[in-house]
């Protein structure tokens, strides 16, 4: 058993992994499902892994950064419909 922790698409990913396990012969029966909860996406302090330094530090909203921003072009997903 394992948990999928993504900002968006966790339930769909669980079903996809279940289907893959059945197709590959790793399992005969799989129980899979999930619910999205983007409002619980945390704020992170990316520079604090190596300790905070003097001056300002940036706090990142992972709902925007991980869930609603295009990873390749660094713009909001709402803009992709315009392209």
Answer whether 57's CB lies under 8 Å from 43's CB: no
User: What band does 32 get if pLDDT is binned at 50, 70 and 90?
Assistant: very high
This prediction's pTM: 0.53
Q: What is the pLDDT of residues 34-83, one digit of tens each?
A: 887 777 888 999 888 888 778 888 899 988 887 788 878 888 888 877 77
Buried residues in 36-61 as b, exposed as e (16+ CB within 10 A) = eeeeebeeeeeeeeeeeeeeeeeeee
Q: Provide the residue count of the chain.
A: 83
pLDDT at 21: 96
């Amino acid at each position: 058993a394992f948990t999928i922790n993504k900002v968006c698409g966790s339930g769909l990913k669980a079903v996809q992994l279940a289907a893959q396990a059945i197709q590959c012969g790793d399992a005969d029966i799989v129980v899979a499902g999930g619910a999205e909860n983007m409002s619980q996406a945390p704020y992170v302090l990316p520079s604090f892994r190596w300790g905070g330094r003097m001056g300002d530090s940036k706090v990142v909203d992972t709902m925007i950064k991980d869930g609603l921003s295009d990873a390749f072009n660094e713009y909001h997903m709402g803009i992709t419909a315009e392209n």
